[in-house]
Amino acid sequence: MAQVSLKKLVKRYGALEIVHGIDLDIKDKEFIALVGPSGCGKSTTLRMIAGLEEVSGGAIEIGNTVVNDLPPRDRNISMVFQSYALYPHMTVRENMGFSLKIAKQPQSEIDKRVNEAAAILSLEALMDRRPAQLSGGQRQRVAMGRAIVRQPEVFLFDEPLSNLDAKLRTQMRTEIKKLHAKVQSTVIYVTHDQVEAMTLADRIVIMRDGYIEQVGTPDQVFKKPATRFVAGFIGSPPMNIVEGVVQSGAIVFANGDKLPVPEQFKAKVKEGDKVAFGLRPDDIFPTGHGLHSGQAADVHELTLPVAITEPLGNETLVFVEFAGREWVSRMLNPRPLASGEQIKTSFDLSQAHLFSVETGKSLAV
């Protein structure tokens, strides 16, 4: 069993505190994604779990054992980095077996584990090649193979796919998902890429400036972002978020444009409150061209000028001008639109979010 717990975990470099006492309980066999902007402390946290960075405060438990002072090799973890640094003079087979050889495992055991890992990762045909004779994706698979042979209870990944092109990333993403299903280890996976996090993880941890902003399933963090920051970070294209003031049942934006206070928030705001109004591109659509067309619960319709369109084939992103800025909307079954054309636009207010401008917290809770 390898549940992982972070208890008031702190990292300081000299006087500078980077990770500010975070708490997190990761279940055995769970796939956790750590996401957040550059510099928020993802790699530092992962490296503390791996034992590559000293802990400045609090504790890390792996399988109910405090590992703060255990060296990396005794933590029953394997880490896969962004730069997978295979040994260039060794074959794939030798690269994969190297850590077991160092650990003085018998050759028969090394062969058995390497062959198993090769089968899981479909590397059998490449075992006698050297890294220079492999594609980027194949090298990344070998790096994972090297991690698997150690049969760790916990896998740590730090942006393992960020050196690959978009197509390979998508392929490898699927492979990592299959891999997790097969090896049944606990996985902690750091990524910038929220799509990667959404598709892979059982739960997503959103970090910001050394704090945890929210922990939840992909569905929870997408549908119920706890803060304005999470709302803007999860989802692509990002949620439209615009600040306004509550006046006579409406949210009035800086240029005087307004939207009704959504029904579900009427009891949560009062006259004069400063709020940030959020609506995802899926919930704004040229009337009749939406995901929710015909079934949206609380549609508010406005006629707005088109700023620009981005056709994507099956859908078009339409940027409409409202409240002094551009709002991105999604148009299904698109028809051509000219810049400046006035179009009827539906805002599904039943899907709206409101955040306090002061605290950044969602008013939904």
Ligand X SMILES: Nc1ncnc2c1ncn2[C@@H]1O[C@H](COP(=O)(O)OP(=O)(O)OP(=O)(O)O)[C@@H](O)[C@H]1O
The H or E element containing residue 108 is helix 107-120
Q: Does 43 bind Mg ion (CB under 5 A)?
A: yes
Q: Write down the least CB distance from residue 11 to ligand X, Å.
A: 8
Residue 184: Cβ-neighbour burial (10 angstroms; 0-12, 13-18, 19+): exposed
CB crowding 47-79: b at 16 or more within 10 Å, else e: bbbbbebebeebebebbeeebeeeeeeebbbbb
Taking CB under 6 A as the binding criterion, the range among 36-44, 174-182, 261-269, 306-314 that sits at the site for ligand X is: 36-44
Q: Which of ligand X, Mg ion, none lies near 364, with the C-beta cut-off 5 to 8 A by kind?
A: none
Among 24, 33, 43, 277, binds ligand X (CB under 6 A): 43
Among 3, 7, 17, 18, binds ligand X (CB under 6 A): 18
3-state secondary structure of 332: strand
CA pair distance 185, 179, nearest whole angstrom: 9
Among 25, 39, 65, 359, binds ligand X (CB under 6 A): 39
Contacts with ligand X in 181-210 (CB under 6 A)? 192
Q: Does 185 bind Mg ion (CB under 5 A)?
A: no
CA pair distance 200, 177, nearest whole angstrom: 6
Taking CB under 6 A as the binding criterion, the range among 32-40, 62-70, 176-184, 306-314 that sits at the site for ligand X is: 32-40
Q: Which is nearer to Mg ion, 46 or 226 (CB)?
A: 46
Among 2, 9, 35, 41, binds ligand X (CB under 6 A): 41
Q: List all residues 6 or more positions away from 302 whose beta carbon is below 8 Å from its beta carbon.
A: 322, 344, 345, 347
Q: Does 346 bind Mg ion (CB under 5 A)?
A: no
- Which amino acid belongs to residue 214? Q
- Which amino acid belongs to residue 307? A
Taking CB under 5 A as the binding criterion, the range among 36-44, 107-115, 246-254, 315-323 that sits at the site for Mg ion is: 36-44
> Using CB under 6 A as the criterion, which residues of the chain lie in contact with ligand X when the complex forms?
13, 18, 36, 38-44, 192
